[in-house]
């Protein structure tokens, strides 16, 4: 029971961090916040992702490239160019690493306006820190697990962030339905979207990339947006002009 609670909590917090901070804030600037609150979000993201922490800068550059070149050979993660999701994950990891180490040469239009915190980035990207997080997850499992099969969940904790990205980019451009006739192959994939907190409304998002609510139809629900709307009402964040977009 406790292992499932641990896994579910880590999954939801990590997915929310990636959806809100990396995607909607760092990549698209759908909302703004004070520098202090940005640091709070940044630290929360590091804690939520742990050993699989992703740099907001590298993520933002790669995601902007994805929108510009969606489902073409220049897309960092287009399912149509890979035999399976593992091949896509590996190619994405190499592209991410190049941006992270500043060994890439991205176009100027993909640069800037993303959060950077050099001290935290050095700590988060160090292998000592990643291994320490992994060891912490393992110790928790050793103390809480009551059956052998529960340990099968453990590897997912180590690479939680990339797993979320792989699910969204593979399924969101391979399966499901389309509300809009975009130029790419983006799709909305229900009910799997429930575990990605709104990120699998890829067709909706590619149709209106600046709209903070990824849901359009009555039966669609975007959990990340609902949380962000609550934070906006509390004045913790402020939606940028146009982020609410049109209803359809």
| pLDDT tens track for 127-167 | 999 999 999 999 999 999 999 999 999 999 999 999 999 99
pLDDT digits (tens, 9 = 90+) for 63-115: 999 999 999 999 999 999 999 999 999 999 999 999 999 999 999 999 999 99
CA distance 32 to 37: 10
Give the mean pLDDT of the chain.
Answer: 96
In this structure, the number of other CB atoms found within 10 A of the CB of residue 136 comes to 13
The pLDDT, as a whole number, for residue 101 is 94
Q: Which residue spans within the chain are E strands per DSSP?
A: 31-32, 238-239
Q: Which helix (H) or strand (E) holds 79?
A: none
pTM for this entry: 0.95
| Band (247; pLDDT cuts 50, 70, 90) | low
Mean pLDDT of 33-53: 98
Per the CB < 8 A criterion, the answer to whether 50 and 160 are in contact is yes
Q: What is the total residue count of the chain?
A: 248
Closest to 60 in 3D by CA, of 88, 23, 95: 23
| Band (57; pLDDT cuts 50, 70, 90) | very high
Mean pLDDT of 158-187: 97
67: three-class secondary structure by DSSP: helix
Whether 248 has a pLDDT exceeding 60, the answer reads no
For 192-212, the three-class secondary structure string (H helix, E strand, C coil) is HHHHHCCCCEHHHHHHCCCCC
| Band (246; pLDDT cuts 50, 70, 90) | low
pLDDT digits (tens, 9 = 90+) for 188-215: 999 889 899 999 999 999 999 999 999 9
The pLDDT, as a whole number, for residue 15 is 98
Percent of the chain surpassing pLDDT 90: 96
Percent of the chain surpassing pLDDT 70: 99
CA distance 88 to 230: 35
What tokens appear for 236 in the block?
Answer: 């913790």
């Amino acid at each position: 029971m406790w292992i499932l609670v641990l896994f579910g909590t880590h999954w939801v917090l990590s997915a929310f961090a990636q959806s809100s901070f990396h995607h909607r804030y760092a990549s698209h600037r759908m909302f703004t916040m004070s520098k202090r609150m940005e640091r709070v979000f940044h630290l929360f993201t590091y804690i939520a992702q742990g050993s699989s922490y992703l740099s907001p800068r590298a993520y933002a550059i790669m995601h902007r490239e994805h929108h510009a070149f969606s489902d073409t050979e220049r897309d960092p993660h287009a399912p149509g160019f890979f035999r399976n999701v593992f091949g896509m994950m590996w190619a994405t990891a190499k592209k991410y690493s190049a941006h992270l180490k500043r060994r890439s040469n991205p176009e100027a239009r993909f640069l800037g306006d993303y959060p950077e915190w050099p001290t935290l980035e050095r700590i988060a990207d160090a292998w000592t820190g990643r291994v320490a997080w992994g060891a912490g997850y393992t110790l928790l499992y050793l103390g809480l697990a009551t059956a052998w099969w529960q340990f099968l969940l453990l590897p997912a904790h180590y690479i939680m962030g990339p797993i979320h990205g792989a699910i969204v980019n593979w399924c969101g451009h391979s399966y499901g339905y389309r509300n809009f006739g975009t130029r790419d192959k983006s799709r909305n994939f229900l009910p799997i979207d429930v575990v990605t907190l709104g990120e699998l409304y890829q067709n909706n998002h590619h149709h209106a990339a600046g709209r903070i609510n990824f849901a359009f139809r009555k039966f669609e629900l975007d959990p990340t947006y609902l949380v962000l709307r609550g934070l906006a009402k509390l004045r913790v964040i402020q939606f940028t002009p146009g982020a609410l977009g049109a209803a359809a």
